[in-house]
Amino acid sequence: MAKEKVLGIDLGTTNSVVAVVMGDEPVVIQNQEGSRLTPSVVSWTKEKEILVGDPAKRRAILDPENTIYESKRFIGKKFDEVREEARRVSYKVVADDKGDAAFDVPNAGKVVRPEEVGAHVLRKLKEAAEAYLGEKVTKAVITVPAYFNERQRQATKDAGKIAGLEVLRILNEPTAAALAYGLDKKSDVRILVYDFGGGTFDVSILEGGEGVIEVKATSGDTHLGGANIDERIMEWLIEEFKKETGIDLRQDKTALQRLKEAAEQAKKELSFKLETEINLPFITVDPNTNQPLHLQKKLTRARLEEMIKDLIDRTMEIVQKALEDAKLKPEDIDDIVLVGGSTRIPLVQQRIKEFFGKEPHKGVNPDEVVAVGAAIQAGVLSGDVKEILLVDVTPLSLGVETYGGVMTVLIPRNTPIPYRKCEIFTTAADYQTEVEIHVLQGERPLAKDNKSLGKFYLTGIPPAPRGVPKIEVCFDIDADGILHVTAKDLGTGKEQSIKVQPSSGLTQEEIERIIKEAEAHAEEDKKKKELIETRNQLDQLVYNLEKTLKENRDKLPQDLVTETEKVIEEAKKTMQEAQEVERLRSMMDKVLQTSSKIGSHIYQGAGKKAGDENKKEGGDDVVDARPVD
Ligand code: AMP
């Protein structure tokens, strides 16, 4: 019996595509209307008929409340997370009984979940594939953005299940694009995937060679896409119409939908022509004369480019950011792979060429490249294509809280996973028998500004002076993105661990916000961190001085003992009060001088300076500021 085919599906925000490997080649399958792109739109008619794809998109004009588009923005999210997003769409977004984002569709007579909307699109694609293949299909690989968290991935799987598809693999979109490009077959090639779709912009840098694809960095903007360009054109049309007639079309929902379609159409035409005409007969009625009014406007490519220049600039800033994250320069990129319909815009291609000094890669259709990659992965799973290993990255840095409330990073953001990193830490206080391991995620230097992923204690450490115990903390992030944190007392071999899901509940917006916040606070954070670190150094010096005094008290003259006690007291007070690094530093000098004096007395000029001992060893970080009783 022939092997069952596995579909590769790009379930997109704006459009979806299905492909399958036939023989050796991935083939994009036409839908029931003969189109290779299926708009990810579902519409419910009064008669409770459910329309999917182009027929649904056409109804968006007539029936905005019953027509759901861009449902991908809501999948796997809580209603509270999408309040802002909900204001941007013309249908009603509500919280379902679990507090998840869902749609109140009057004609459906019920609240519809985003998974159900996704399922309608998937079912249409599945049926198209079955008609093409002449056999039933039950399995698929579906792509999602690299930043989708566990809930969003699970919800996408559920959408497949509702549509009667077992989802064998959820594949990241940039990885799919890289597969379609053939990155796995090249050796030592680095590509940048520039994905400019209908509603989102994503950049990924990937490296490939000998059957492996590694994502090196990702960046993006979840609200930058072709729709923004359409809006610019619409705004221009509305303003021009207002100038001519005094009528503001913004008040008229139906007119707005027609304008939106016309704007998109004009934009697409201007990718191939230098000039186009926008024609919207009977756009509205003159309230004074009751005569119908028509909208007719010429738009040139040059004018459009002027309108959208800043949007394209923004995409290039994000490209720059991804390169910086990967510590690469434009010339380090071997090829630029274009994904998404908006990359057809000549200005986009021109800017990419200027930036990289070379033409972007042409070869795979930008609308279809992700589905083609999904089909290749599907082919791997069905046994049609040789196995490929895929690697992804951590979206944010991971680390532990250390002495003074600082975050010490073990795994920096954009590290390819799976990944393992161990570091040795020590105790903060004498005879401390427990340490707290506080696992953090984020980009800020201070622990309190980052997200807490979990805490645990390692107990039973044999009592020893501070700084003596050696505690090995290991971060092990597996291929599914699950983080295993282990703390081991190297003295006794005692071990404790926890398992956390770092990406859980984090949306791309949150990731972007966290990175932006870290950038905005960089200067003040640096100062705060320096203050804590200097305080820690002073603390170590005072600790050593106290110890030296205790051990040598009887060998020292009384006036030096008194002076040392005074300095210790003053230093402790300074540690509590000082908010300036300078004050802490001058106190450090004073402590060091006192240490030197004691040293001179003890060794009576034997050449060894006690002060040297007091310098902080470059060794272990102190893992736990608060000794636990
Ligand atoms: P995608 O999300 O990849 O399906 O991309 C859809 C977006 O690409 C929509 O905003 C389309 O208007 C846009 N698009 C499609 N074809 C073109 C074109 N020829 N020129 C400019 N934009 C296009």
Cα 593 to ligand 1 centroid, rounded to whole Å: 70
Q: What CATH number matches the domain at 226-308, 3.90.640.10, 3.30.300.30, 3.30.70.260, 3.40.640.10?
A: 3.90.640.10
Give the position, in ligand 1's atom list, of the atom nearest the Cα of 226.
10
The size of the chain, in residues, is 629
Concerning whether 10 is annotated as a catalytic residue, the answer is yes
Domain 394-520: top CATH class: mainly beta
What pTM does this model have? 0.68
Among the listed residues 339, 371, 338, 365, the one whose alpha carbon sits nearest the alpha carbon of residue 122: 371
Instruction: Give the Cβ contact number of residue 292 at 10 Å.
Output: 11
Residues 462, 492 contacting (CB under 8 angstroms): yes
Asked if omega into 106 is within 30° of 0 (cis), the reply is: no
CATH 2.60.34.10 residue spans of the chain: 394-520
Rounded Cα distance, 455 and 177, in Å: 38
Q: Looking at residue 87, what DSSP letter applies?
A: H
From CA 481, how far away is CA 457, in angstroms rounded?
23
Q: Where in the chain is the domain with CATH 1.20.1270.10?
A: 523-616
Closest-CA residue, ligand 1 atom 7, reads 198
Q: Which residues line ligand 1 (CB under 6 A)?
A: 12-15, 197-198, 225-227, 264, 267-268, 271, 340-342, 344-345, 367
**Is 243 considered catalytic here?**
no
CATH tag for 523-616 (out of 3.40.50.300, 1.20.1270.10, 3.30.160.20, 1.10.287.620)? 1.20.1270.10
Cα–Cα distance between 408 and 440 in angstroms, integer?
Answer: 9
Q: Identify the three-state secondary structure at position 483.
A: strand
pLDDT in tens, 418-476: 788 999 999 988 999 999 999 999 999 999 999 888 899 999 999 999 999 999 999 99
- Region of 426 (left: φ > 0; alpha: ψ -120 to 50; beta: rest) is beta
Tell me the C-alpha distance between 234 and 254, whole Å. 13
**Looking at 10, 214, 325, 476, which residue is catalytic?**
10
pLDDT of residue 506: 57
Interval between CA 12 and ligand 1 midpoint (Å): 12
CA of 379 to the centre of ligand 1 (A): 27
Residue with tokens 């000094």: 357
pLDDT of residue 390: 62
Point out the ligand 1 atom lying closest to the alpha carbon of residue 15: 4
What stretches of 190-252 show up as alpha helix (H) in DSSP? 226-245
- Tens digits of residue pLDDT in 469-495: 999 999 998 766 778 999 999 999 999
pLDDT, residue 133, reads 96
Ligand 1, from 10, 11, 13, 14: best to mutate by most atoms within 8 Å of Cβ? Answer: 14
| Minimum-distance ligand 1 atom for the alpha carbon of 366 | 3
Q: Which ligand 1 atom sits closest to the C-alpha of 227? A: 10
> Which pLDDT value is given to residue 289?
94
pLDDT at 479: 65
Residues of the chain with CATH 3.30.420.40: 6-225+309-392
Alpha carbon distance 152, 159 (integer Å)? 11
Distances (CA, A) of 451 to 285, 446, 498, 502, 503: 55, 11, 16, 10, 11
Give 311 Cα–ligand 1 centroid separation in angstroms: 15
Q: What tens digit of pLDDT does each residue of 539-586 get?
A: 999 999 999 999 888 889 999 999 999 999 999 999 999 899 999 999
- Ligand 1 pocket test: pick from 268, 311, 364 the residue with the most ligand atoms within 8 Å of its Cβ: 268
Residues lower than pLDDT 50 in the chain:
504, 605-618, 625-629
Question: Closest Cα partner for 218 from 277, 147, 274?
Answer: 147
**Which of 281, 313, 303 lies closest to 236 in space, CA to CA?**
303
Active site residue 332: no
Query: What is the pLDDT, as a whole number, of residue 388?
Result: 65
* CATH of region 6-225+309-392, choose from 3.30.160.270, 1.10.150.20, 3.30.420.40, 3.90.950.20: 3.30.420.40
Which atom of ligand 1 lies closest to the CA of 267? 21
The closest residue, in CA terms, to atom 3 on ligand 1 is 340
Task: Give start-end residues of each CATH 3.90.640.10 domain in the chain.
Answer: 226-308
Distance 345 CA to ligand 1 centre (A): 9
Radius of gyration of the chain (CA): 31
| Cα-to-centroid distance, 14 and ligand 1 (Å) | 9
Is 559 known to be catalytic?
no
Burial (CB count <10 Å: 0-12, 13-18, 19+), residue 354? exposed
